[in-house]
Amino acid sequence: MSKQYIDPKEIATKDLHQFIIGGIAPRPIAFVSTVDEYGRENLAPYSFFNAFSSNPPILVFSSNRKVSDNTTKDTLHNIEMTKEAVINVVNYPIVRQMALASVEFPRGISEFEKTGLSTEPSTVVKPPRVKESPMNFECRVKEIITLGDKGGAGHLIICEVVGIHIDSNVLTNGRIDPQKIDLMGRMGRMYYVRASGDAVMEIVQMVNAQPIGYDKLPGHIKRSDILTGNDIGILAAAECEIPVTSATPEDTQIEELHKMIKTSLTEGNVFEAIRLAFNGA
């Protein structure tokens, strides 16, 4: 691996932006509905976005000054006026309409009309919800933090969630099912990721019990040409007593042994893999 060093002060903002959005990815997309001081609705996607607190429930997104002309965006203006927003999630069935809503329509033009998405009244805030989105967070804006005054500078919009609506069809046993909600993530340039199907993987990592740890794995495992970093990660994460009768295999046995460990890991039999790693075949 050979890495290039980049001094963010030495490259153009548009290039820096691409390195940031390509590397900090995939990002969830806040599809933000707001109204202006005249009650006119607005809808725009923001992927400089995440959840930052569960109690109180806080979501934050950033509306940036445009790099091209240093102007600010309608969403920021509306929030400065009304201190309210709805953050609608973006799933696969509405991803193209979401992309269309990012067009710079003149202030006062409703992206609901331009995209064909439907409004649905909120319970406690004025901005409407996106009916087709499977989950809507009604928010009051607690604070806006301005990060700079040049093109590309963000405004952190700190939102407290005051109401949540969720489509019961995306739930399995009362929890959000990634295969049903089918969310989209934003990457760099024109790339998106669809977070369902084979893109979803399960990693069960208990955080209360102490795992074996990489440092306690046998040397031949750490030096393996057959086991990958992920294989070693699974072995190091196993929560079990380190087998006391640790045996060192002969050099001629190692390749075969590591293949057997890999097979056990592929079959999900971590304890057999651990037994082999410490005691040999």
List contacts with ligand FMN (CB under 6 A).
Answer: 29, 42, 44-48, 62-64, 73-75, 99, 102, 104, 186
Q: Which is nearer to ligand FMN, 75 or 224 (CB)?
A: 75
Residue matched to tokens 């369902």 = 196
Least spacing, CB of residue 169 vs ligand FMN, in Å = 24
Task: Calculate the alpha carbon distances from 7 to 11, 66, 94, 129, 211 in Å.
Answer: 7, 22, 38, 41, 38
Q: Which is nearer to ligand FMN, 108 or 121 (CB)?
A: 108
Q: Which is nearer to ligand FMN, 63 or 136 (CB)?
A: 63
Least spacing, CB of residue 177 vs ligand FMN, in Å = 23
| Cis-peptide into 128, omega within 30 deg | no
Least spacing, CB of residue 62 vs ligand FMN, in Å = 6
Q: Which is nearer to ligand FMN, 135 or 274 (CB)?
A: 135
Least spacing, CB of residue 105 vs ligand FMN, in Å = 7
Q: Which is nearer to ligand FMN, 46 or 278 (CB)?
A: 46
What's the sign of the alpha-carbon dihedral 7, 13, 14, 18?
A: positive
The answer to whether 280 and 220 are in contact (CB under 8 A) is no
**The 27-28 sheet, strands edge to edge:** 27-28, 184-186, 192-194
What whole-number distance in Å separates Cα of residue 15 and Cα of residue 198? 31
Q: Which is nearer to ligand FMN, 184 or 234 (CB)?
A: 184
Least spacing, CB of residue 268 vs ligand FMN, in Å = 36
Least spacing, CB of residue 197 vs ligand FMN, in Å = 20
- Chain center to CA of 72: 25
Comparing C-alpha atoms, which of 181, 187, 191 is closest to residue 88? 181
Helix (H, G, I), strand (E, B) or coil at 163: strand
